[in-house]
Amino acid sequence: MVPPHKQPQEPTQDEIAPDDAPKAANEPGVSKDMEAALEAALAGDVGEEDRLQTLEAENAKLRDQWVRAVAETDNVRKRAQRDHEELSKYAVSNFARDMVSVLENLKRASDSIPVDARQGNELLKTLGEGVDLTLQELLGIFEKYGIIRIFPLNEKFDHNLHQAVVQVEKNDVPPGTVIQVVQAGYTIHDRLLQPAMVAVSKQGEAPPKVDTTA
């Protein structure tokens, strides 16, 4: 009688040879060789000197892993702190950009009431003083949040802070000098919020030489 065909059975966990077991790539912790050496050292199957070397090697490896873990944790903490500080410093940027036009309108309103006109009219004087006080208060609030107004008249042109809208030939000042501020600029901390729109001087053409030797 032919024996019935037997289905192949899955090998049990004990029957799996160590070489047949799957190995995880870049498995952290103690390596297989080190683990075996450590077990042998702890069991007393090796000499005292080999046992001491094995334990020292394992101690050095664990210490290196601990140092790396502490350093990585510190880096994560510093990055989180930096991100938090950046968010706190520049969170009002969009709001400040919208408020800039309000401040500039107040500045124009203040400039539109001359000092002479204020002295001759009590109403204009009171109105002008009220506008000036509001303007100064708003400037103080801006400075509190690191927002500074840029008005670079007669300063050297700086492409990091200024935007030239026109160049004007002007020989009585050095080339690249801001000779007119069309619109004030603003910074928030170390970032540009709005560039100053300016007119910049350039060297005019030299007049033609006249031959006087004739």
What residue segments make up the domains of the chain, in order of their start?
31-91, 92-145, 147-204
Give per-residue pLDDT as tens, 128-165.
Answer: 999 999 999 999 999 998 999 999 999 999 999 999 99
Structure tokens at 83: 């991100």
The pLDDT of residue 203: 85
Give per-residue pLDDT as tens, 57-113.
Answer: 888 888 999 999 998 988 988 888 888 877 777 888 888 988 999 999 999 999 998
Give per-residue pLDDT as tens, 181-202.
Answer: 999 999 998 899 999 999 999 9
3-state DSSP call for residue 189? coil
Give per-residue pLDDT as tens, 43-56.
Answer: 655 567 777 888 88
The pLDDT of residue 59: 87
Q: Are 199 and 179 in contact (CB under 8 A)?
A: yes
pTM for the model stands at 0.58
| Separation CA 135–CA 184 (nearest Å) | 15
| Separation CA 90–CA 14 (nearest Å) | 62
pLDDT at 114 over 90: no
Q: Are 186 and 193 in contact (CB under 8 A)?
A: yes
Q: Any alpha helices (H) in the chain, and if so which ranges?
A: 32-43, 48-90, 93-111, 115-120, 122-144
Class of 147-204 in CATH: mainly beta
